[in-house]
Structure 1
Amino acid sequence: MVKHWKKGILPVLSAILVLSLTACSGAPSASNGGKSSDGTGGSGSDSKQVNATALAKAVKNDTAPIKGGVINYALVSDTPFEGILNPVFYDGNPDFEVFQFFYPSLFSIDSNLNIDDKGAATISFSADNKAVTVKIDPKLNWTDGNPVTAEDYAFSYEVIGHKDYEGPRYDSFMTNIVGMEEYHAGKAKTISGINVLNEKEVTIHFKEPNPSVKSGLWSTPLEKKVFQNIPVKDMAGSDPVRKNPIGYGPFKIKSMVTGESVEFVKNKDYFHGEPKLDGLHLKVVNPNVITEALKSGEIDWASYPTTRYDEASNPKNVQFLGQEELSYSYVGFKLGKFDQAKSLNIMDPNAKLANKSLRQALGYALNNEQVGKQLFHGLRVPATSLIPPAFKGYHDTNAKGITYDPDKAKKLLDEAGYVDTNGDGYREDPKGKELVLHYAAMSGDATAESLAKFYLQNWKDVGLHVELVDGRLLEFNSFYDRVQKDDPGIDIFGGAWGTGSDVDPGGLYGRGASFNYSRFTSEENDKLLKEGVSVKAFDDNYRKDIYNQWQAYMSEEAPIVPTLFRYSLEALNNRVANYDITRGKEYGADTFANITLTAEKAEAAQ
């Protein structure tokens, strides 16, 4: 499915960081120092590699569709969804998977990931590119019957910019809006740079032109009539978010068991016409049983764990679609804390991982090529930078990154003074003190623990003593709660970012970005991130050069080490038709509204 969400959980095209942080599932053997039996770090003879570039992008089904029908969708997770069903407040991919059906982005994107004119709203720029006018489709209504207005769109900015807002979306993109900082500081009652022109049009004025507006403009309104009397600090926990959420998408919620299941019915008043399906039933399905659920026909549609994909034994009643993700897996290193009052990341010079040679060594120790081949069948490959290849114009194809090189890891540690002084097999710190690092990893399917242990073994192989936080994997919501709050018991953490359609990494790694979980800051990082969204960066070649410099700089500093670039998989029953995952496809804005079924019951595997 097309996810037009920006980084770090901000709404589509704006800085929505879809935390697609499902833990990696499965792991290769950690024997032989993480190398395969032939010493190459390969996958082993029993690993069947997938030609990822040959994966289909659209289902093939020429059978005449039935009228209506209900599709069964699996939210594949070993934990419940939290139930923060609003793009302004959520911070986890499971919640996104729920509200994507009723609360999508206002905007559609083209093949270059820029906003086009096919969505529920369009944009136009002023001559100097310092202002953008958003025009909302006159037919777009909330599912409670009220029109989606320019006031609603402006209100979402007012909530995000409010001093009591505790979510992650108040970042450098927001502070570039004229009057936003004064409003946030309580010096103004309104945001002077946001001007509502009429019921359906609003203009946003920026201090400086920002090319990210073309792809990363904040993309979701918040219904003012519903939320205006709720204190901002209480909104995330309020009934309109948790119990009775509304939206304007092709479906609306009929009933819900929070954390477990949602029954959707079609939104007959959807602005682009009544959806083809009568409804959609969503339920949480454990990754360990998703294959059987698909085989039996209990489930029609699911994001499929790449660890379970095997072309020889895949269910024959299911079609698989795949594409490069706008995302990457990573390990990150805690270097400080986030000052909520100042909305700033503050580095701690005494952090365990303050030495960049130690951070680099931790990265060079990880055999991600073996993980990608042996565990993910080639559907994940070693990551070389913090801009994934799906950003065709901005990923540095020449970047070498921090890839598997245990000898280099050992050399870096030796030179930095991390040596084993007592003969126990583990290195002490440069002062001769015991060095024990604590790694936070998320639970996932049955192989998630094996992957975590594989990384621990990789680190042990270069003499580093790393243990799991609390001695176990952490449940998704607990993991992010502790990482976000800078739990002092966490030194290293592993997850993945879904970047969304805007290449600007400032929402993840800026000085004021709450998603900057490592808390790394520097003047050079500030400078490069600022240049990447400057007036000069409207020139694509200039912007590419700046982001190449930034990718190299972050690889050198290593506050985050990307581990794997990813391909996503979706599995769909053979009765599903008219579904395409290609980014920028002409009807992409209405992907869910256009899905049809060609049989009353799902096809079961023979």
Structure 2
Amino acid sequence: MRKRKTGKTMLVSLLLVLSLAVTACGSGNNEAAEPSATAAATDAAAATAAPTTAPAAEDGLYSIEDFSPQKTNQGEAIEGGTLNYGLVSDTPFEGTLNYTFYSGNPDSKVLQWFDEGLLTWDKDYVFTNDGAATYEVSEDGRTFTFTIRDNVNWHDGKPVTAEDWAFAYEVIGNPAYDGPRYGSDFTNVEGMEAYHAGTAKTISGIKVLSEKQLQVTYIKSTPSLLTGGIWIYPLAKHIFGGMDVAKISASPEVRQNPIGFGPFKVQSIVPGESVVFVKNEDYWRGAPKLDGVVLKVVAPTTVVQELKAGNIDMVDSFPIDQFPDNSGLSNVEYLGMVDQAYTYIGFKLGKWDATNAVVVPDPKAKMANVALRKAMWQAVDNNAVGQKFYHGLRWNATTLIPPSHPEFHDDSNPGVAYDPEAAKKTLEDAGFKMNGEFRTNPDGTPLTINFISMTGSDVAEPLAQYYVQSWKAIGLNVTLEMVEFNTFYDRVGSNGEDDPSVDVYQGAWSVGIDVNPQGLYGHDAIYNFPRYQSDENDRLMEAGISAEAFDVEKRKEIYNEWQQLMVEEIPVFPTLYRAIVVPVNNRVLNYAINDGSGIYLNELALSADKGIAAQ
């Protein structure tokens, strides 16, 4: 990735919006798609300032290439200690604390401390045999035999079993399941669709071979199976096995007393606000070096003060817009990497059919005209947005496979270029004529577009207002509503119900380790929030996980075609690729933010008993 250059002319409207932005503003974490100690400089470690980051270039922009994803250790580890972790958000975390059911990124930041998958992956996102389970694959690539290690136990001491793993598949495949996971990864399991339809009592492709050994047979061998296409999270059958599936996600065992087999145990929860974790002495990798972790929600407006005081040791992700003014904090080291994510503008093109679990496009949807969608993309200058709002640590996005997956991101595809004059012509040619201040539909009826975006920082609304003003500049009447995180995703359809008042929305996606986009844009994906479907999209989705796609060059070709299809059909358009920047207190040892680093949470340690304050 290269740093973007300055010099591009900004729209007057963007400059006006920027003048409203507060310098020390909040987090963009709620875009989709993680108690305090008295601060003191206690020993020599406090006086040793960690390398924070490379300085900005003369143009004021930063490059993520200048950051390391791994913490520089300073000082010697003390015995035990409690780490303080900040989940940066302007809203409570939802509290669905089980991998089978959660949907929001904040909940995943809570989950990571006390639960985990049975398989791990390397830096290339390929499953390894280094996790809590190992696997073998049949010659035809369709049957996987998993063996859970003997010392992998739930926090209540019960062993994690093959029955637990199979039970997770049974719950997700149950028609009463109310979570977001059921989709192509599960329908590829032999017998799953018959089980889901109620015509079979068991899933024929899943066999429990012994207490610790599970066999799963897939209909098709796909390249995605080794890079995230396998469900790796068991569900404790001895706890949930007697429950009505429809009631599990709201149960106290998920909300108040969650269980896992990770390095820490949940000791107490203040719903939506904080969690106290204690070390799991029985953790399969070895007991954690820390005594515990205290997680609390930290407002974007106060996160800098909490970091400076040493009250929190690290955060899930730092507000990029606050970074330049705080890049020199003496008590933290900033870690950074290209995020597996992108921000985007989405267009509502249909509805979700909950009965059949498929997208149903609406050819009469307000945003159904692709020319209208293209013009809205042409009207916004995302290069300028990345530079002015995010100082180069977010940058213009061109396709829906981000550069966090360099093997498949098509960096030769320019997307749609910023050109407001071309946007006006696009609308004129499609029949969207000016009638006074705004344009009408091609049939002459008034056109008002309802746009929702998430709160989360002082920059969030000015940024959304910039988009509104950019669209106004080409004659579109767009109304804006700012919505908090949990409500936002309910309204765009995470619960299967699409709010008819929403026409356009600004969201963000974390793409995970598997490049396969079916989970976000497949016709059977509930996360397909634009409710987009086309035969060509279906064809390319299937081709991307076909036998021919085991040839990496062929898979690149397929996904390049798919990226171009999305540029042409525009159910959504990407706005910004993202860097993740994480400040970590100087007392923290043995920590990294990159996948496949080989550094695990049980290895976290501290060099001082209290957080180090900034000097």
- Conserved 8 A contact 1:246-1:252: yes
CA distance in 1, matches of 2:334, 2:69: 9
CA distance in 2, matches of 1:430, 1:296: 58
CA distance in 1, matches of 2:71, 2:261: 26
Among 588, 604, 607, the alignment partner of 1:598 is 607
User: What's the counterpart of residue 484 of structure 2?
Assistant: 475
CA distance in 2, matches of 1:47, 1:286: 30
Task: Report the CA distance between 1:61 and its aligned residue.
Answer: 2.0
User: What's the counterpart of residue 325 of structure 1?
Assistant: 339
| SS of structure 1 residue aligned to 2:207 | strand
- Conserved 8 A contact 1:443-1:473: yes
Amino acid at match of 1:224: K
Q: Does 1:245 align with 2:258?
A: yes
Task: Report the CA distance between 1:403 and its aligned residue.
Answer: 3.7
Amino acid at match of 1:563: T
Among 397, 405, 411, the alignment partner of 2:425 is 411
| SS of structure 2 residue aligned to 1:101 | helix
Q: Does 1:161 align with 2:173?
A: yes
Task: Report the CA distance between 1:584 and its aligned residue.
Answer: 1.5
Task: Report the CA distance between 1:36 and its aligned residue.
Answer: 9.8
Query: CA offsets, 1:273-317, max 9 Å, x none?
Result: 001111000000001110110000111111211111116653211
Q: 1:311 to 1:584 in 2, by over 3 A?
A: farther
Among 435, 441, 452, the alignment partner of 1:429 is 441
Among 163, 169, 182, the alignment partner of 1:170 is 182
| SS of structure 1 residue aligned to 2:208 | strand
Q: 1:391 to 1:313 in 2, by over 3 A?
A: closer
What does 1:558-597 correspond to in 2, within 5 Å?
558-585=570-597, 587-588=598-599, 591-597=600-606
Q: Does 1:32 align with 2:44?
A: no
User: What's the counterpart of residue 3 of structure 1?
Assistant: none
- Conserved 8 A contact 2:394-2:576: yes
CA distance in 1, matches of 2:584, 2:138: 43
What does 1:90-489 correspond to in 2, within 5 Å?
90-216=102-228, 217-302=230-315, 303-310=317-324, 313-420=327-434, 422-423=435-436, 425-468=437-480, 472-484=481-493, 485-489=497-501
CA distance in 2, matches of 1:456, 1:558: 18
- Conserved 8 A contact 1:300-1:573: yes
Q: CA RMSD in A?
A: 1.7
Structure 2 stretches of 5 or more lacking a match? 1-7, 18-56
Query: CA offsets, 1:408-436, max 9 Å, x none?
Result: 2112111111111x32x211110111100
Task: Report the CA distance between 1:123 and its aligned residue.
Answer: 2.2
Query: CA offsets, 1:229-262, max 9 Å, x none?
Result: 1111111101110111000100111111010000
User: What's the counterpart of residue 14 of structure 1?
Assistant: none
CA distance in 1, matches of 2:11, 2:514: 40
- Conserved 8 A contact 1:335-1:520: yes
Task: Report the CA distance between 1:51 and its aligned residue.
Answer: 2.0
Amino acid at match of 1:111: K
CA distance in 1, matches of 2:309, 2:563: 45
Query: CA offsets, 1:207-244, max 9 Å, x none?
Result: 11111010111120100110011111111101110111
Q: Does 1:63 align with 2:63?
A: no
User: What's the counterpart of residue 13 of structure 1?
Assistant: none
CA distance in 2, matches of 1:486, 1:194: 34
Query: For this pair of structures, how many residues does the alignment match?
Result: 564
CA distance in 2, matches of 1:106, 1:498: 21
CA distance in 1, matches of 2:197, 2:125: 34
CA distance in 2, matches of 1:384, 1:257: 41
CA distance in 2, matches of 1:177, 1:47: 53
User: What's the counterpart of residue 497 of structure 1?
Assistant: 509
Task: Report the CA distance between 1:30 and its aligned residue.
Answer: 8.2
- Conserved 8 A contact 1:368-1:403: no
- Conserved 8 A contact 1:438-1:489: yes
Structure 1 stretches of 5 or more lacking a match? 1-27, 38-44
| SS of structure 2 residue aligned to 1:358 | helix
CA distance in 1, matches of 2:337, 2:199: 47
- Conserved 8 A contact 1:197-1:203: yes
Amino acid at match of 2:402: P
Query: CA offsets, 1:552-596, max 9 Å, x none?
Result: 0011000010111100011111101111223222x24xx211111
Identity of aligned residues (%): 47
CA distance in 2, matches of 1:553, 1:356: 12
CA distance in 1, matches of 2:611, 2:9: 38
Query: CA offsets, 1:144-176, max 9 Å, x none?
Result: 111111110111010000011122111112111
CA distance in 1, matches of 2:601, 2:166: 27
CA distance in 1, matches of 2:455, 2:337: 25
CA distance in 2, matches of 1:83, 1:392: 34
Q: 1:30 to 1:240 in 2, by over 3 A?
A: farther
| SS of structure 1 residue aligned to 2:578 | strand
- Conserved 8 A contact 1:361-1:409: yes
CA distance in 1, matches of 2:580, 2:596: 17
- Conserved 8 A contact 1:344-1:513: yes
Query: CA offsets, 1:465-490, max 9 Å, x none?
Result: 1111xxx3101111111111210000
- Conserved 8 A contact 1:30-1:454: no
CA distance in 2, matches of 1:101, 1:312: 27
CA distance in 1, matches of 2:13, 2:444: 25
* TM-score with structure 2 setting the length: 0.90
Task: Report the CA distance between 1:397 and its aligned residue.
Answer: 1.2
